[in-house]
Chains A and B, each alone.
Chain A
Amino acid sequence: MEEFILIRNLRKTFVKSGLLGPRRVVRAVDSVTLTIHKGETLGLVGESGSGKTTLGRILAGLEEPDEGEVLVEGTPLKEYLRRNRVKVQLIFQNPDTALNPRQRVHDIIKEALEAAGEWGGSGDVYEILEEVGLPKDIAHRYPHELSGGQKQRVAIARAIAVKPRFIVADEIVSALDATIKARILRLMKRLQGEYGFAMLFISHDLPITASISHNVAVMYSGRIVEYGKPKDVLNAPMHPYTAHLIASVPSLYYGGSRPARIELKEWDGEQLSGPGCPLLRRCPLALEGVCDKSAPELRPVGGRLVACHRPLPPGLPRGAGVGGVGAQVLSR
C-alpha cells in the first residue's frame, strides 16, 4: 500500500504545573515513528494517559509537536494543512461538544459543505444524511432532539461532507450502546470504502479497534509498544502490555477461548524517569540488568513490530498461560 502519512520520531511533552504538587514533565508522545497508508485505518489503542489523543491532535493540526516530523504525501504536515485544512477531519467521543446546539442539522452540514466549496443546495445535505443512515427529516432538528447514536452520525456526516483525505476518530463509539457501536463501525467501514479516506481510529477498546482496523498500534506511556495486523495483536499479543490489555477483555469477544494473559502491577500514572523500559515497574517479566538498562526499540519480530526486551512468543496455544517466567497467569 502507498504511504499517506509518515510520522518520524515524534515527541511532545507537557509540563504539569506544580499547583498542588511538584512540577512534572509528562512525555505525552515519545519517539513515535509510524506510517499510515492510503485508505488505511490505523487503530491506536491505549489506556487513558497513554498519549493516544495527543498523537491524534498533532495529526489533526491541533497541537504542535516538540520534535520530529510528520509528512503527508511527502509534504510537511503544517504545509499540507495550510492547503488542505478541511480535508483533515476530527470526530470526537462526545458529539454534544462537537455539534453547535443552536444550529439545525441542515446548517451544520451546510457549513461543512461550504467550507469545502461543495455547497450546491439542500439536496446535498439530504444525500449525505442518507449516506450515514439518517432520515431526511433529521435535517430540520437540533442536536438535542437526537439520540446519542444519531448525533454521532451527524458528526460523521459533517466529517465526510468535505470528502476528507484523513479522519482522526477519537473514541467515536465509546459512549454508545453495543448495538449502535456495531452499526457505527460498519458505517465507517463502508464510508471508507466509498470515499477512500485514511483513518486514525483511537480507542481504549482493543477488540473494537481490531475489528475495524487494517493495522493496530498499541501505545503505552507515549510510546508505540506493539504494531501489527489486528488478528495477530488481538489473538497472540507479544508485548506484555498488550497481553495485559487483553486480560481485561470479556471472553465473549474472543468467541470463547482467549490468548495468554498477563497481569501487570497497577499503575499510578507516574512515568518512569530513569533509563529502562517504560513498563519496568509494572511488568512481571522484567529482567534485572536488561529491562532496567535501556528502553526497548520497536523492532520487527514475529511478523510485527514489538518494543520489548523479552517479547512473548507469538501464537501461543490458545488459553495457555505464560509459565515459568515469573508471570502471574490468570485463568478463570
Chain B
Amino acid sequence: MNKALLEVRDLSAGYITRKGYVPALRGVGLTINEGERVAVVGESGSGKSTLAAIMTRLEPRNLVIESGEVLYKGMNLLRMNGKELRRLRGREIAVVFQNPSESLNPLLRVGDQVVEALRLDGLRGREAKARALDLLRRVRLPDPERIYRSYPHELSGGQKQRVAIAIAIARSPKLLVADEPTTALDVSVQAKILDLLIRLNEEEGTTEVLITHDIGVAYDFAHRIIVMYAGRVVEEGPAEEVIREPLHPYTKHLIKSLPKAGELPSVEERALTAVAAKGCPYAPRCPAAIKGVCDAADPQPIKVGERVVACHAVARDFLG
C-alpha cells in the first residue's frame, strides 16, 4: 500500500544572492507515497517553495543544491539532464503555480494551450479538441466550448487556475505539485479549487503535493501534513494527529495563530523572528526551549508513532 513515489533525502540547498549565500533547505528528508495527498506547510522563508521547485526541477538559476537526492520512482531527479527531465514533465510530474496569469500564454486561446500539451502525446485535430474539451469539463469549467475559444484575460482568476490545472493533468501525470494554487484567489474560489484537487486525487489516484502557508487549508486537504521551519522539516504526520495533538512547539504556534470561531488568535502580539545561528532554529522563539540543549545542537528528527518530529524537548519527553 504505502509505496513511495517521491523520496527526498538529506536535501540541502541555498541561493546565491548579492548579499552572499542564503541557505534555504537544510537536510530535508521526506517521502510522498503513491495516491497520497500531502500538504507542506510553512511561512515565507521556510523553504517550502524551494522544495517544490526542486521536486519539479524548476528551480531558479541562482539556486545551488549542496547535497541530497530527490528520487522519483527510484530515479534521482538531480542527476537527470534536460532531455530526461522533459520526458518526465507533464506525463509523470506536473506543476500548478500560484499565479495562473503567469503560467498561461496571454496571446493564445485557452483551447490551443490545452491542445499544445496533448500534442506531446501525439493527439491531433478533432481528437485533441475533444480531449481538451473533456479536460475543461473535468476541471468543472462552465460552458467548456466558450472557454475553449476564450483568451486568458477573458476569464476570472478562478477560471484561469482551472485551465492551468486542466493543462497540468492533460497528460495524466502521476504526481501533481501545486505551489500555493489558491493564494491569489477569493476564498470561495479557493475552496472550489481545493475540492477539485481532492476529487482528482480520489477519482484518478493522482498523487498530490500542496504547498501552502495556511495550516487550515492543509488540514482540509491532506492525508499527511509536513510542517517546515527555516529550511527544515520540523513535524510530519497524519493530518488529524498533527492538528489534534501537535508535538512540535512551532506546529502548536501555527495552530494558535488561526482566529477560531470569531476569537482573536491567542498568540503574543510581538514578533520574535530571530533565527538562531547555532542549535535549533526555532529556539529563540520557542516557549519550550531548554537552555544548553536547544541552543547547542540542531535537533535530529525522531519517530513518534506515525510522526516524525525534530525537537529536543519532544525527544526528551519520548526518549527520556
Contact = CB atoms under 8 A, between A and B. Distances in A.
| Size class of the A contact interface (CB-based, 8 Å) | 35 or more
B290 interface: no
Contacts of B263: 211
A47 B186 contact: yes
A178 B258 contact: yes
Contacts of B215: 178, 252
A181 B258 CA distance: 9
| Size class of the B contact interface (CB-based, 8 Å) | 35 or more
B129 to A, nearest CB: 24
A186 interface: yes
B103 interface: no
A185 B187 contact: no
Given A177-B213, A211-B262, A182 B267 contact: yes
Interface in B109-155: 142
A178 B256 CA distance: 10
A253 interface: yes
Contacts of B243: 252
Highest count of chain B CB atoms <10 Å: which of A48, A187, A211, A269: A211
Contact of B44 (A177, A204, A211): A177
Interface in A23-82: 47-48
A contact face: mostly helix, strand, loop, or mixed: helix
Contact of A179 (B189, B219, B253): B253
Interface in B168-226: 186-192, 213-217, 219-220
Contacts of B260: 207, 252-255
A186 B269 contact: yes
Contact of A211 (B156, B192, B259): B259
A205 B187 CA distance: 7
B271 A211 contact: no
Contact of A253 (B156, B188, B261, B271): B261
Contacts of A2: none
A212 B264 contact: yes
A245 interface: yes
Nearest to B46: A177
Interface stretch (A116-124, A161-169, A229-237, A302-310): A229-237
Given A179-B43, A252-B219, A253-B259, A269 B267 contact: no
B216 A252 contact: yes
A16 B189 CA distance: 24
Closest 9 CB pairs of A and B: A250-B216, A211-B259, A182-B265, A248-B191, A182-B257, A177-B43, A252-B216, A248-B188, A186-B269
Given A183-B271, A253-B261, 18 more contacts: A178-B215, A179-B267, A182-B258, A182-B264, A183-B269, A185-B265, A204-B186, A208-B259, A247-B188, A250-B217, A251-B216, A251-B219, A252-B220, A252-B255, A252-B260, A253-B258, A253-B259, A332-B220
24 contacts: A48-B186, A177-B44, A179-B267, A182-B264, A182-B267, A183-B271, A185-B264, A207-B262, A211-B262, A211-B264, A212-B264, A230-B262, A231-B261, A248-B187, A248-B192, A249-B216, A250-B217, A251-B220, A252-B216, A252-B243, A252-B255, A254-B260, A266-B192, A269-B156
